[in-house]
Amino acid sequence: MTATAASSAWAHVDLTQVPHIPVPPPGPKSKALHGRCTRYFKGLSSQVKLFPVTFAEGHGCVLVDVDGNKYIDFSSGIYVTTLGHCHPKVTQAVQKWAGKLMNAHDFTTEIKTLLCEKLAQVLPGDLKGYQFYDCGTAAVEAGLRVCRAGSKKHEMISCFYDFHGKTYGAVSLAEIRSPVYGAVRAPGMHMVPRPNPYRPLWTKADGTIDTDKYIEFYAEYVDRATVNAVAAFVLEPIQGWGGSVIPPDDFFPKLRKFCDQRQILLMADEVLTSWARTGKWLCCEHWGVVPDVVSIGKGFGNGFPVTAVAVREPFAESFEKISASSSYGGNPMACAAALASTEVIEEEHLLERSLHLGELALQRMRQMMSRHPIIGDVRAKGCLMGIELVKDKKTKEPFDEASKRVYQKAFTKGLAWIPAGHILRMSPPVVMEDKVLAKGMDIIDEAIGETEKELGY
C-alpha cells in the first residue's frame, strides 16, 4: 500500500453521510448529560468548556454524539487515537488480555517481552532500556529520575511554553502559576527560550532565525545561572500546548552537540510526538538525533492508557536505582495495546501515510494563509498541525477571540478539534483518507472566513 492510498478500509468515511449535523450541537441530550456529569466532575479542558458536546461512540475518523451528530475527528482524543477510534487489531488485543490476565505487577509476561523486543527493533540508536507507565506525566517523572541517577546531577533545564504533565516535577519543567504548588518551582529547575521560527528572539542579517544565538545563550545560562549540576536538558521536539511549534531543522543537532560537550543528558518528551504522529517513531528522527532518555505516550496504545520511558544503553541500569516499577505500568492489556498499535503502524505503512497527510495539509493551509488576513502562520510535521491567528500580520498580535469563534464554528459544522489560545491545533488520525482531510480543511476555511466577516476584516 502506498502512502497516497487510503490507509485502512475499515476507516473509510462516506462524505455524503459525514459530517452530519441533524441537531444543532451541543444538542439537548448532550446538554442534559453534560449537566449531570459536571455536577460532580470538575476541572474541564478549554476545548470542552468552549464546546460541551457529549460523545457516544467513535469509529475510525468519525465521532458520534448522543444526539446523533457525526463529526470528522481532527483531534484524535488530543493526539491519542492516532490509528483512529477502535482499530480492530488494538481492540481485539485488549479484549484478549482483559479476559486472560489483567495485571501481574512488574512480573514478566509474554506480551511484555514481545513489546520490549518490538521496541528494540523500531527505536533508533541504542535506546534499549524500557519501563512502562499509565500516563505521560508518570513517564516524564520517571525520565527525570533516570536522568538524575544516570548523570549523578540534579538540575534540569527546560523550555518556555513546553508542556510536560501535571505533577509537581513535570509542572516545574513548564510555566507554573498554580495555587496548588504555591507558584514555587521545584528546586533546581531552570527554563530557557527555544527557537520559534515565527516569533524568533534572535535573527540573522537576512531576518531568518539564528539558532546559534540560542545555543550561545544556553552556554551562558549554564555558566551563570546554575550550580553546574545540570542533569538533563528536557524538551518537546515539537510543542503541543505551546501551539504546534516546529523548531528549525538545525536546532536539535546543535542541541545534541551542546549537551554532549557539557556532559548533560538530552531528554526528549515525545509523549505527544511519537508513534507516527509526525511521520516517524520518534520526532527526533527527523533531525537524525537520538536522545539519551525519551518519554513515549498518547498514540503508543491508541487510547489505552500506556506510556513508556526508553533509555540509551549506557544509562539503562539507572532504572534499577529509581524504584521504577508502578502498579499499572506494563500490565498485559497495556502491553497488548502498545504492541498491536506498533504492528498496525508497520503493517499499514502509517509512518509514510502521516507524512503524506502532513504535506497535503500544509499545502492547503498555505493557500488559506494567502487569502485570510488573520492567519499569521501555518505549520505541519506529519499529522501534527497548527494555524496561528493574529490581529495583524505585521505586528503578529495574538487573536484569541478569533480562535475561539473559529473553533466553535467549525465544531458546529461537524469538525472535532483542539484550541490553544490563539492557535488552532489539528491532530487527525493518520489513517484518514485524503478527501476527508480536505473536507476538514474546507470546514476550517469556511469558519475562518465567517469569523473574519463578523470581526470586520
Residues 251, 400, single domain; the answer is: no
Final residue of a domain: which of 282, 300, 330?
330
Question: What is the structure's pLDDT at 278?
Answer: 98
3-class secondary structure, 60? strand
pTM listed for this prediction: 0.96
pLDDT (0 to 100) of residue 420 = 82
**344: which 3 cell numbers?**
498496525
pLDDT at res. 6: 47
For the four alpha carbons of 195, 200, 203 and 208, in that order, the dihedral sign comes to positive
71 and 115, same domain (yes or no): no
178 plus 308 within the same structural domain: yes
Amino acid at site 255? L
Number of domains in the chain: 2
Same domain membership, residue 183 and residue 80: no
- Please, how many CA atoms are within 13 Å of residue 162, restricted to the half-sphere of its CB? 30
The pairing of strands 127-133 and 307-312 is: antiparallel
The answer to whether 225 touches 262, Cβ cutoff 8 Å, is: no
Do 360 and 323 share a domain, yes or no? no
CA angle 78, 82, 83 (to 5 degrees): 145
Give the pLDDT score at 54.
98
* Domain assignment of residue 335, yes or no: no
Asked if residues 378 and 388 have their Cβ atoms less than 8 Å apart, the reply is yes
For residues 219 and 253, state if they share a domain: yes
Q: Verify that 239 and 264 share a domain, yes or no.
A: yes
Shared domain check, 379 and 302: no
Using DSSP bridges, classify how beta strands 127-133 and 155-159 pair: parallel, antiparallel or unpaired: unpaired
Looking at residue 176, what is its pLDDT? Answer: 65
Q: Are residues 251 and 278 in the same domain?
A: yes
Alpha-carbon span 183 to 125, nearest angstrom:
39
Largest CA distance in the chain: 64
Q: Are residues 293 and 428 in the same domain?
A: no
Give me the average pLDDT of each 10-residue run along the chain (457 residues). Answer: 55 96 98 97 93 97 98 97 97 98 96 98 98 97 97 97 92 75 80 97 95 98 97 97 96 98 98 98 98 98 97 94 93 98 97 98 98 98 98 98 97 94 96 98 98 97
First to last CA, the chain: 44
- Per the structure, the complete domain to which residue 423 belongs is given by 9-86+352-454
Residue 24 sits at φ, ψ, to 5 deg, of -55, 120
The burial of 177, by beta-carbon neighbours within 10 Å (0-12 exposed, 13-18 middle, 19 or more buried), is given as: exposed
Q: What's the CATH code of the domain at 63?
A: 3.90.1150.10
Residue 223 belongs to a domain: yes
Strand, helix or coil for residue 334 = helix
Pair 244, 146 in one domain: yes
Name the domain boundary from 330, 365, 400. Answer: 330
Same domain, residue pair 15 and 63: yes
Confidence (pLDDT) at 4: 46
Q: Tell me whether residue 343 is in a domain.
A: no
